[in-house]
Amino acid sequence: MLPLRYNAPPPVRRPAMAVDLKGELTELLRSALASVAPECADSAIGLERPRQAAHGDYATNLPLQLARSLRKSPREIAAMLAAELPASPLIERVEAAGAGFLNLFLSRAAKREVVRRILEAGDDYGRLPLGGGATVLLEFVSANPTGPLHVGHGRGAACGASLANVLEFAGHRVTREFYVNDAGRQMDILTTSTWLRYLELRGVRIAFPPNAYRGEYVRDMAARIEEAHGSRFVRDAEEVIAGTPGLPEAERDDDEADAQREAHLDALIANARRLLADDYAYFHQFALTEQLADAREDLGGFGVHFDRWFSERSLFETGMVERVVAALEKAGHVYLQDGARWFRAAAFGDEKDRVVQRENGQYTYFASDIAYHANKFERGFARIIDVWGADHHGYIPRVKAALAALGLDCDRLEVVLVQFAVLYRNGQKTSMSTRAGEFVTLRELREEVGNDAARFFYVLRKSDQHLDFDLDLAKSESSDNPVYYVQYAHARVCSVLAQWGGDAALIRGFDPGPLASARELALCRRLAEFPEAVEEAAREFAPHVIAFYLRELATEFHGWYNAERILVEDPALRDARLALCVAVRTVLANGLRLLGVSAPASM
């Protein structure tokens, strides 16, 4: 279990003008505070939503906060504030209560007003100016292009895409980026795996390494190359395995055997490069292009789109990797030891120093990652956010250390960690072993449970928490399934409107005044909370807040729907209820849109 983000985001400031209910209430309280205790007039005023209705619509613990400095009892201060609170059409009454809380009860008119606001704002209801148009680079998924995306990548995709939507809705300009690891050993392993499968097809008998990529998709790529080029890339088995140490017995799983397998694979890669010469690049490019196209298609089908696919290889081709290492060296943060170049990460808060260039001259993944992040800073984004698998948490200090050593403000980099999802079927954990090649792919998941259920389930937990993904529940067509539960509320509203049959455009002008029942007013209050949910989701990088909110809103709508009839005889009351219906539909649709889930008109 890991923290949601590595360091605190910049403070989010509310606009100075009271443009919303909460802001107006705060101003009223500030006015009362100024007359009760002028010396504390600029204290922070926290307004919260009490859990219990008896504690009002909003409450503040201001009296408790001030008790010490004013040398008065909290109850006394609360009573004084209540007496000095200016009269307002928003407020029905105030109460000093509990240990020293001030509870505010809104007038019915104030509660109903949100319906009018929602009908006016439409798709934009919940949109906030918090980000002030600041640019954000959000990097997520960034899976190695060495095979199909699996269900772990799916969670990063769903969380990242939802977070991007939320940040955009909260007033940021978001660039969505996928970092393509097209330069490392993993790609060489995929390239060689493809060639070995090709050789197999041509009847060349070579033991396929257990640590190479064994998936069926590798055979598919090999078959297509074989179809197009015939025997052009065939070499003798003796040549292919020349100079390799050979494989240890399959049963052995000790360190020595593992090391031998790795050495064997590296030797095969070296032979492939030598024997294929220029054609090696063909295999490499073919596999890369195939896997990226596959990922793009898969993610696109999942409603996840990127503005840019950033190539790791380009960082080498433009000399960026050399440049950042040289910059670190020039600043005295790099030294030579055992033939390798080490970055003094420990001097910048990391546990130990890290290699940036290996003894054999190859740069490490870390080196290109430094270059990548330096490049992000050069592009001038106000905020840089990485969404990583939680198993990479130990990697954060070294990247931050490198940025600091380059003289960059490493606090501008924020890292969201996403835990893996574990699939359950019939109450049993489904196996997800990569080395056996039998992992569950994102595509299989999407086909089995559908895109909507997958997107929603992935963000049903805080992203840094383990997620138990119940496949049976995700597929069930019942109220047990939270996706259908929320979507059904939306479809119900649409159905009522269809039943009514009038001109939907007119509803915008309907007067919510006749709304008066407890359920209706509670629903209004819930609708007014949506911008607060968006704010929290954006501030905490927590799209699950939106999912929770939608479930609560749907609950209150279903309750109202079952308790009271909407299409009643009285035209004024019917119109008011239709207005509330449209407001509910609007908020459900806006929330679902942030999560990349469809809002069906019928189910």
Q: Binding string, 168-187, against RNA, x = CB under 7 A?
A: -------------x--xxx-
SS in 3 state form for 368-419?
HHHHHHHHHHHCCCCEEEEEEEHHHHHHHHHHHHHHHHCCCCHHHEEEEEEC
Q: For residues 209 and 235, which CB has a smaller minimum distance to RNA in the complex? A: 209
Binds RNA by CB under 7 A, chosen from 22, 354, 376, 443: 354
> Got the DSSP string for 108-134?
HHHHHHHHHHHHHHGGGTT---TTTT-
Shortest distance (Å) from residue 184 CB to RNA: 4
Shortest distance (Å) from residue 354 CB to RNA: 6
Q: For residues 225 and 496, which CB has a smaller minimum distance to RNA in the complex? A: 496
Under rule CB under 7 A, residue 548 binds RNA: yes
Shortest distance (Å) from residue 583 CB to RNA: 16
Binds RNA by CB under 7 A, chosen from 243, 509, 559, 571: 559
Residues 565-594 that bind RNA (CB under 7 A): 565-567
Q: For residues 155 and 544, which CB has a smaller minimum distance to RNA in the complex? A: 544
Shortest distance (Å) from residue 167 CB to RNA: 18
Helix, strand and coil in the chain, % to nearest 5: 55, 10, 35
Q: For residues 202 and 551, which CB has a smaller minimum distance to RNA in the complex? A: 551
Shortest distance (Å) from residue 429 CB to RNA: 11
**Span from 15-23, 124-132, 503-511, 561-569 in contact with RNA (CB under 7 A):** 561-569
Q: For residues 179 and 217, which CB has a smaller minimum distance to RNA in the complex? A: 179
Under rule CB under 7 A, residue 245 binds RNA: no
Q: For residues 390 and 597, which CB has a smaller minimum distance to RNA in the complex? A: 390
b/e code 371-399 from CB counts within 10 Å (16+ = b)? bbbbebbeeebebbbbbbbbeeeebbbbb
Shortest distance (Å) from residue 420 CB to RNA: 8
Q: Are 407 and 327 in contact (CB under 8 A)?
A: no
Under rule CB under 7 A, residue 52 binds RNA: yes
Under rule CB under 7 A, residue 316 binds RNA: no
Q: What is the largest CA-CA distance in the chain?
A: 94
Q: For residues 374 and 578, which CB has a smaller minimum distance to RNA in the complex? A: 578
Binds RNA by CB under 7 A, chosen from 121, 465, 521, 573: 465
Q: What is the phi/psi pair of residue 221, to 5°?
A: -65, -45
Binds RNA by CB under 7 A, chosen from 8, 16, 17, 44: 44
Shortest distance (Å) from residue 224 CB to RNA: 26
The residue count for binding RNA (CB under 7 A) is 91
Pairing mode of beta strands 173-180, 135-139: parallel
Q: Are 32 and 88 in contact (CB under 8 A)?
A: no
Binds RNA by CB under 7 A, chosen from 251, 477, 503, 569: 477
Residue 180 backbone zone (phi > 0: left; psi -120 to 50: alpha; other: beta): beta
CA neighbor of 386 nearest in space, from 186, 160, 189, 563: 160
Shortest distance (Å) from residue 135 CB to RNA: 26
Under rule CB under 7 A, residue 334 binds RNA: no
Q: Which pair of structure tokens corresponds to residue 509?
A: 């002008």
Shortest distance (Å) from residue 553 CB to RNA: 11
Q: What is the phi/psi pair of residue 383, to 5°?
A: -135, 140
Under rule CB under 7 A, residue 428 binds RNA: no
Under rule CB under 7 A, residue 208 binds RNA: no
Under rule CB under 7 A, residue 66 binds RNA: no
**Span from 205-213, 325-333, 473-481, 590-598 in contact with RNA (CB under 7 A):** 473-481
Angle of the 544-563 helix axis to the 518-528 helix axis, nearest 10: 160
Q: Are 388 and 413 in contact (CB under 8 A)?
A: no
> Distance between CA 94 and CA 593 in Å, rounded?
37
Under rule CB under 7 A, residue 260 binds RNA: no
Shortest distance (Å) from residue 457 CB to RNA: 10
The residue type of 217 is Y
Describe the strand order of the beta sheet including 354-357 as a list of residue ranges: 334-337, 340-343, 354-357
> Distance between CA 373 and CA 362 in Å, rounded?
19
C-alpha distances in Å from residue 214, one per residue of 210, 218, 401, 516, 531: 8, 7, 37, 65, 48
DSSP 3-state of 341: strand
Under rule CB under 7 A, residue 391 binds RNA: yes
First to last CA, the chain: 38
Under rule CB under 7 A, residue 484 binds RNA: yes
**Span from 223-231, 315-323, 325-333, 462-470 in contact with RNA (CB under 7 A):** 462-470
Under rule CB under 7 A, residue 337 binds RNA: yes
Q: Are 173 and 134 in contact (CB under 8 A)?
A: yes
Q: For residues 7 and 285, which CB has a smaller minimum distance to RNA in the complex? A: 7
Shortest distance (Å) from residue 73 CB to RNA: 10
Pairing mode of beta strands 91-97, 58-60: unpaired
Binds RNA by CB under 7 A, chosen from 26, 103, 192, 244: 103
DSSP 3-state of 316: helix
Q: For residues 426 and 602, which CB has a smaller minimum distance to RNA in the complex? A: 602
Shortest distance (Å) from residue 413 CB to RNA: 16
**Span from 119-127, 205-213, 267-275, 556-564 in contact with RNA (CB under 7 A):** 556-564
Residues 507-536 that bind RNA (CB under 7 A): none
**Tally of helices (H runs) and strands (E runs) in the chain:** 22, 14
Under rule CB under 7 A, residue 53 binds RNA: no
Q: For residues 112 and 492, which CB has a smaller minimum distance to RNA in the complex? A: 492
Binds RNA by CB under 7 A, chosen from 154, 482, 512, 591: 482
Angle at 143 between CA 140 and CA 144, to 5 degrees: 145
Under rule CB under 7 A, residue 360 binds RNA: yes
Under rule CB under 7 A, residue 365 binds RNA: yes
DSSP conformational letter for 5: B
Pairing mode of beta strands 467-470, 421-425: parallel
DSSP conformational letter for 423: E
CB-based contacts of 516, cutoff 8 Å, min separation 6 = 108
The alpha-helical segments, DSSP class H, found in 406-543 are 442-449, 451-458, 471-475, 482-500, 518-528, 530-539
Binds RNA by CB under 7 A, chosen from 30, 485, 522, 598: 485
Under rule CB under 7 A, residue 41 binds RNA: no
Shortest distance (Å) from residue 488 CB to RNA: 3
